[in-house]
């Protein structure tokens, strides 16, 4: 386990992360059983056996509990993107990175379907998720700009920003289609359809 600079995390930080993981696991169980809006921070505190005040030392809101991993997901995406061959097109590289993130998530299909449905159904969660995904965009732009020619060129960065934002939006559309179909529509197929529509091509 490492800190944000890649150094081994200290004991205090490892302990904090372990407690956070326990809180997230307990909260997600409650959210899936009772619904996000119907679950309170007090109920989560009781579930993990701590005071409400102690809980707020780890998470300020319910939204933070659900979306806390999204910042880490951005780092996973960036690493996955940087692993792609340099000759690969931006769209191919972004698709591969998004697929790798999707397949790395620690949920079975049924739970992930419920969690994604919860994310899309709650206006508060959708708004906060959008903020996190903006951070993803900033992390991915340098690699895509380099694939377009020059990472320091303002025009390359502009085009890269548009491509990344579009790919992230297409992933959201694909997940929404997957949830709306009850899992019948494949996420990757839906993503390809969305990208093809944006690019004016058939899949």
Token duo for residue 70: 């999204």
Query: Residues spanned by CATH 1.10.357.10 within the chain?
Result: 66-199
* Superfamily, domain 66-199: Tetracycline Repressor, domain 2 (1.10.357.10)
CA neighbor of 73 nearest in space, from 27, 95, 104: 104
Given a contact cutoff of 8 angstroms between Cβ atoms, the answer to whether 27 and 39 are in contact is: yes
3-state secondary structure of 39: coil
Helix (H, G, I), strand (E, B) or coil at 23: helix
| Model pTM above 0.85 | no
**Superfamily (CATH) of domain 1-60:** Homeodomain-like (1.10.10.60)
Q: Kindly report, as residue ranges, where domains of CATH 1.10.10.60 are found in the chain.
A: 1-60
What pLDDT shows up at residue 42? 94
The encoded tokens of residue 49 equal: 């056996």
Is 94 buried (19+), middle (13-18) or exposed (0-12) by CB count in 10 A? buried
Q: What is the pLDDT along the chain (203 residues), one digit of tens a residue?
A: 444 444 556 788 888 888 988 998 899 889 888 888 889 999 999 999 999 999 999 998 888 888 877 777 888 999 999 999 988 999 999 999 999 988 887 777 888 888 888 888 888 888 888 888 888 889 999 999 999 987 788 898 999 999 999 999 999 999 999 999 998 999 999 999 999 999 886 55
């Amino acid at each position: 386990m490492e800190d944000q600079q890649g150094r081994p995390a200290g004991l205090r930080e490892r302990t904090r992360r372990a407690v956070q993981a326990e809180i997230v696991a307990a909260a997600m169980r409650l959210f899936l059983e009772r619904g996000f809006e119907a679950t309170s921070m007090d109920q989560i505190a009781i579930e993990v056996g701590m005071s409400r005040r102690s809980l707020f030392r780890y998470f300020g809101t319910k939204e933070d509990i659900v979306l806390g991993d999204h910042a880490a997901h951005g780092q996973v995406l960036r690493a996955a993107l940087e692993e792609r061959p340099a000759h690969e097109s931006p769209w191919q590289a972004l698709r591969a990175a998004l697929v790798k993130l999707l397949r790395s998530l620690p949920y079975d299909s049924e739970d992930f379907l419920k969690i994604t449905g919860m994310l899309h159904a709650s206006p508060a969660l959708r708004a906060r998720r959008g903020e996190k995904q903006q951070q993803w965009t900033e992390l991915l732009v340098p690699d895509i700009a380099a694939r377009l020619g020059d990472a320091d060129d303002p025009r390359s960065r502009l085009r890269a920003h548009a491509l990344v934002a579009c790919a992230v939006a297409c992933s959201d559309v694909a997940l929404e289609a997957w949830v709306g179909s009850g899992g019948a529509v494949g996420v990757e197929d839906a993503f390809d359809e969305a990208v093809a529509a944006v690019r004016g091509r058939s899949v």
